[in-house]
């Protein structure tokens, strides 16, 4: 469970301070599929980075699965990310000259898991996202949709219970984008993975079961979506 209470975040811009988030309070239960929307500069990505423990905040509190994130050391946050949180980005964030298998195995290289076991886990996740015939291909030989599937498989290998997806369809055509959203929907409904999606596209947000809208750093709407 994610529990944010009165989160405030400031950035220094020259001699001035810009407040990116203003008293944001939010609870997300395990297994939810939530979309976060808003205009550019509304605070969507900042909120995503805080939830993913990639960014600190200036005041408020953040509890993740009963643990207080505020007081965690960087090493603890890193371990938390590697075990609980998978990230899927708009630009895929893959190593293009390496194989699909290498990219998916990468998060496990710093674990104590044997290579043979890492390979087995990675191949299982690659097959799970529908790329069983692409294991040995270099990433630069793949389509945009296939690259995003690789990114999703990589997000799953450490047993992550939550996927944070930041504009995952932003570089994809509409049909391929729908395929990726159907995959995320399946992972949520069948595997119970919590999905938190940042998007500017209303049609993409319709795949979620709850939509949060930010404006000027504040939550202005939080609604359940009928399915």
Tell me the CA distances in angstroms from 181 to 28, 62, 125, 144, 216, one per residue in order. 20, 28, 17, 14, 27
Q: pLDDT truncated to tens, each residue of the chain (227 aa)?
A: 999 999 999 998 888 899 999 999 999 999 999 999 998 889 999 999 999 999 999 999 999 999 999 989 998 998 888 888 999 988 888 999 999 999 999 988 877 788 899 999 999 999 999 999 999 999 999 999 999 999 999 999 877 899 999 999 988 999 999 999 999 999 999 999 999 999 989 999 999 999 999 999 999 999 999 86
Say how far apart CA 190 and CA 136 lie, in whole Å.
Answer: 27
Q: Which residue has the tokens 């409904």?
A: 189
| 8 A C-beta contact, residue 131 and residue 146 | yes
Q: Which of 189, 192, 187 is nearest to 30 (CA)?
A: 192
| Burial readout 5-26 (b: 16 or more C-beta within 10 A, e: otherwise) | eebebbeeeeeeeeebbbebeb
Domains, the chain: 30-42+82-224 (3.40.50.300)
| 8 A C-beta contact, residue 87 and residue 49 | no
- Please state the pTM of the whole predicted model: 0.91
* pLDDT score for 130: 93
């Amino acid at each position: 469970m994610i529990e944010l209470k009165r989160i405030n975040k400031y950035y220094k811009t020259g001699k001035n301070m810009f407040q990116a988030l203003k008293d944001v309070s939010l609870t997300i239960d395990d297994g939810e599929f939530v979309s976060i929307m808003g205009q550019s500069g509304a605070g969507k990505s900042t909120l995503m980075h805080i939830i993913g423990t990639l960014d600190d905040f200036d005041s408020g509190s953040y509890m993740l699965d009963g643990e207080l994130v505020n007081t965690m050391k960087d090493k603890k946050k890193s371990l938390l990310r590697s075990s609980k949180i998978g990230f899927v980005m708009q630009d895929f964030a893959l190593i293009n000259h390496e194989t699909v298998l290498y990219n998916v195995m990468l998060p496990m290289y710093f674990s104590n898991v044997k290579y043979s076991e890492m390979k087995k886990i990675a191949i299982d996740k690659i097959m799970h996202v529908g790329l069983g015939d692409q294991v040995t291909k270099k990433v630069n030989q793949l389509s945009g949709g296939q690259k995003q599937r690789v990114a999703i498989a990589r997000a799953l290998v450490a047993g992550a219970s939550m996927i944070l997806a930041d504009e995952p369809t932003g570089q994809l055509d509409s049909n391929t984008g729908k395929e990726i959203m159907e995959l995320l929907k399946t992972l949520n409904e069948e595997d119970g993975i919590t999905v938190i999606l940042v998007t500017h596209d209303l049609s993409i947000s319709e795949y979620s079961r709850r939509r949060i809208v930010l404006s000027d750093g504040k939550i202005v709407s939080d609604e359940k979506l009928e399915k």
